Chain A
Amino acid sequence: MFEQEDDIVERMIQQLRRPVAVDPALDARVLQAITAPRPSQRRVWPWLAAAAMLGAVMIWRPWSRGSGADRPDTLQFVLVAPQANSVSLVGDFNDWDPKRSPMRTANGIWAAVVQLAPGRYRYAFLVNGVEWRADPGAPAARDDEFGTPSSVVTVGGRGS
């Protein structure tokens, strides 16, 4: 009985001692598999990086900083003047130069759109190049030292 088992063991040893053909590139493949990131890592890291960047931007909030200080606002100035041949918008925002902001008309309604940074501006309408008019839809400038009417507009920088 023991002889039979010894024979089996001997054959197993012989089988294990038999040389096995090994792919010469096996070592290289094993090393590559060890050093290369796993597929799951390749998918996760870009998302983690993007999330971190988004978080940083949310904390920094560059848009809110810009809006607080100098983000311009778009304003439309309108004057109803059916008899006018020309109307110019002049004010602190265009060096009071009538040539800089000529207004366009449609059926006697004159309009101009300008972008203004936050601040308080004095302005007026110059009708036909000679007649000064304040904006009837805006607060009047109280400190008019030149004898003609002006209006004021305030462009806010926070939540306006």
Chain B
Amino acid sequence: MILAVLLIAVQVAAQDPRLDRLDPDTRAQVTAVVDSARLAGLPAEPLIQRALEGATKGAPGPRIVTAVRRLSVDLGTARAALGDGASVPELEAGVAALRAGATPQVLANLHSVRRPPLTMALSVLADLVASGVPADSAAVAVLALAPKARDADLVEFRRAVERDIALGAPPAAATSIRVNAGADVLNAAGPPPPGPALPRRP
């Protein structure tokens, strides 16, 4: 009895105060998932943020718990593919790429051809799929560009594909054309001009 009380007290003390926005039952379940993730060496912050997103959006408790659990599993899959040295942003971007349809093997291949950080490459892959590009085409494109392209080059590539799609090009074809032209474009593009740092748009 005393041990149980002590365990509960320790658990309450370990709870993140930000999770107070959740109802007690949801908070307890989310905390359990977060603790399990910590024990597995996975980052807790993305899980807490997902729970807070659900709370702010007024989602029902079970849906929040399901979302946090699913994210925990996907973070584990991303880490298995990207390696134990993957950073939290890389893991989060890896989850986005996995959910976009990339396979763990694609993540592992990306890890082998590009030096860290992989956050932008993984995000571009996910964002391309969100723009309508088939997952396999997006993966092939990012893997082709990844060895040499800078983060800024990958962002520009994504924007170019999105522009082509908005102008009516089929997503897969737009991606393929931009990848084929990519090497020349990337080699021709110099570094950004020096100047004061201004706020940029997402």
Contacts of B183 in A (CB 8 A): none
Decide if B119 touches A140 in the complex (CB within 8 Å). no
Closest beta carbon of chain B to A117's beta carbon, Å: 8
Shortest Cβ gap from B139 to chain A (Å):
15
The stretch among A20-28, A39-47, A141-149 that forms the contact with chain B is: A141-149
Q: Which of A111-160 contact B (CB under 8 A)?
A: 113, 118-120, 122, 126, 132, 135, 137-143, 145-148, 150-154, 156-160
> Which of B53, B127, B200 is the one whose CB lies under 8 Å from A139?
B127
Binds B, one of A29-37, A90-98, A102-110: A90-98
Which B residues from 59 to 93 make CB contacts under 8 A with A? 59, 63-64, 66-67, 70, 88-89, 92-93
| Chain B contacts for A78, CB-based, 8 A | 201
> Size of chain A's interface in residues, with CB distance under 8 A?
43
Cβ of B57: which chain A residues have Cβ within 8 Å of it? 96, 132, 146-148
Are A153 and B55 neighbours in the complex by a CB distance under 8 Å? no
| Stretch from B30-38, B148-156, B167-175 forming part of the interface with A | B148-156
CB-CB under 8 A for A147 and B59, given A118-B117, A119-B88: yes
Q: Contact between B200 and A96 (Cβ–Cβ < 8 Å)?
A: no
Chain A residues whose C-beta falls within 8 Å of the C-beta of B124 in the assembled complex: 154
**Interface Cβ pair total, 8 Å cutoff:** 127
| Contacts of B122-166 to chain A: CB distance below 8 A | 122-124, 126-127, 129-131, 150-153, 155
Q: Report the minimal beta-carbon distance from B38 to chain A, rounded to whole angstroms.
A: 18
Answer yes or no: B100 CB below 8 A from chain A CBs. Answer: yes
Q: How far is the CA of A4 from the CA of B124 in the complex (A)?
A: 110
* B133 CB to nearest chain A CB (Å): 12
Interface check B96, CB cutoff 8 A: yes
Report whether B197 and A74 are in contact in the complex, using a CB–CB cutoff of 8 Å: yes
Pairwise interchain contact A160-B155, C-beta atoms closer than 8 A: yes
Asked if A137 contacts B89 (CB within 8 A), the reply is no
Judge whether A98 and B200 touch: CB under 8 Å.
Answer: no
Choose among A135, A142, A148 the residue that contacts B126 (Cβ–Cβ < 8 A). A142
Q: Does any Cβ of A come within 8 Å of B104's Cβ?
A: no
Scoring A78, A122, A138 by chain B CB atoms within 10 A of each residue's CB, the highest score goes to A122
The answer to whether A138 and B197 have CB atoms under 8 Å apart is no
**List of B residues within 8 angstroms of A139 by Cβ:** 126-127, 130-131
A137→B127 CA distance, assembly (Å): 13
* A158 CB contacts on chain B under 8 angstroms: 117, 120, 150-151
- Check B92 against A119 for contact (C-beta < 8 Å): yes
Query: Is residue B202 within 8 Å, beta carbon to beta carbon, of the partner chain?
Result: yes
Pairs A–B under 8 Å by Cβ, sample size 18: A73-B200, A95-B49, A96-B53, A113-B199, A118-B89, A119-B93, A119-B119, A120-B92, A139-B127, A141-B130, A143-B96, A154-B127, A154-B155, A156-B117, A156-B152, A158-B150, A159-B151, A160-B152
19 A-B pairs besides A120-B96, A142-B99, A152-B96 with CB distance below 8 A are A74-B200, A75-B201, A76-B200, A95-B18, A118-B117, A119-B92, A139-B127, A140-B130, A142-B96, A145-B59, A146-B57, A146-B63, A147-B57, A154-B119, A156-B119, A156-B151, A157-B117, A158-B117, A160-B120
